[in-house]
Structure 1
Amino acid sequence: MRLLWVAALLVLAAGCGQQPATRPAAAGHTSAEATATPASPPVVAWTGLAAIDPCALLGPQDRSTAGVSVLGKPKEIAGARACDWTVPGAFGVTVTLSETDGLADLEVAKKTATKTKVGAHPALQVADKEAADGTCAVLLGVGDTASVQIDVSNTGFSDTPLACRRAGTVAGLVEPKLP
């Protein structure tokens, strides 16, 4: 009897630290229910920008911070999803999500682009200071094959530095919400 008790203890001790074996599923139960192992967290697939609504990137507080007093209107630009906010008599902002063009793929005149970083994302600020046309863009790289483009145009097409400050503000608000 004592020998059986010692053998049982050895079997139990040998099994410590090991995952229990999976039992076959009983009728009416899924294999997950029949498994004694704890469920592992679900694998989240990279969705890139596909899961992001461009108009949701500027919530009410963000719009207030950026001086945008209107709701955005969804639109499409060259096949890419975008959102446009037009503040009458002041300026307009467009945020475009490109799921197919990284920063290196965007056609930008080198003399108008300045490399920078916004949060954790590499970026380009694009403004033609010589033209002084009141427009500026901040382009955020999202991985190698995607980008978010923030374009600002001032009413009257003047004051390019102000357009760049506005684009930078919006980029700073949008960036933390990007993958």
Structure 2
Amino acid sequence: MSPRLLGFGALIVLAVSACGPGAAGQARVPETETVTGDAWTAATLPPAELDPCALLGPAERSSAGVNVLGVPKEINGARACDWTVPATFGVTITVDERNGLADLEIARKTATKTKIGDREALKVADRKAADGTCAVLLGMGEKASVQIDVSNTDFTDTPLACERAVTVAGLVEPKLP
């Protein structure tokens, strides 16, 4: 085999391995995560290009009490990112480019209309179940939404889960188109 072909084969292997996820159970660490000034904002991107893991940068994670990197995943065909703070709580942010707030199937008795920033939102929690879970759903136009789901590890204290979900929603909202 020629040295030129060997070099090309090694380049392909490196390129493919750089695109794959990290080892099982580990988040792939982005090459850079620092965005300064007005160089770039997620708010300039259409929903189809929003990266849910980029919606919580280092400063936002610190403000929300999240000390781990997010793990990209997919939920019902939508892009999502999951942060699990061991023995405390987890946060999942899902970018749904097919369903606006009106399209989402929600038990109306668990949903409360609210605003996060200037954006229409729904806070969803079943206080009777007291299961330590809460979601804030942010509208992005008629046919898109971002969903922030919080679950406390011990599945108790729904008000705390809602407090955490509202905090994360407030950090994410300015980055949305």
Of the two structures, which has the highest relative contact order with CA contacts closer than 8 Å and spacing of 6 or more? Answer: 2
Distance 2:48 2:117 in 1: 21
Partner of 1:178: 176
Aligned residue pairs, count: 134
Give 3-state SS (helix, strand or coil) of 2:127's partner: coil
Q: Distance in 2 between matches of 1:98 and 1:51?
A: 11
Q: Report Cα offsets for 1:39-91 as digits up to 9, x if no partner.
A: xxxxxxx9531121110000001000000000000000000000000000000
For residues 84-163 of structure 1, the aligned pairs below 5 Å read 84-163=82-161
Alpha-carbon separation, structure 2, partners of 1:147 and 1:78: 14
TM-score by length of 1: 0.74
In structure 1, the gaps of 5 or more residues are 1-45
CA deviation vs aligned residue, 1:112-171 (integer Å, no higher than 9, x gap): 000001012100000000000000000000000000000000011000000000000000
Matches of 2:156 and 2:114 in 1, distance apart?
23
2:61 maps to 63
Identity of aligned residues (%): 74
The one-character-per-residue Cα deviations of 1:78-114 (angstroms, maximum 9, x if unpaired) are 0000000000000000000000000000000011000
Task: Return the alpha-carbon distance in structure 1 between the equivalents of residues 45 and 63 of structure 2.
Answer: 28
Asked if 1:167 corresponds to 2:141, the answer is no
What TM-score comes out, normalization by structure 2 length? 0.74
Q: Give the whole-Å Cα distance in 2 for the aligned partners of 1:92 and 1:49.
A: 23
Given that residues 135 and 152 in structure 1 are in contact (C-alpha distance below 8 angstroms), is that contact kept between their aligned partners in structure 2? yes
Structure 2 alignment gaps of length 5 or more: 1-43
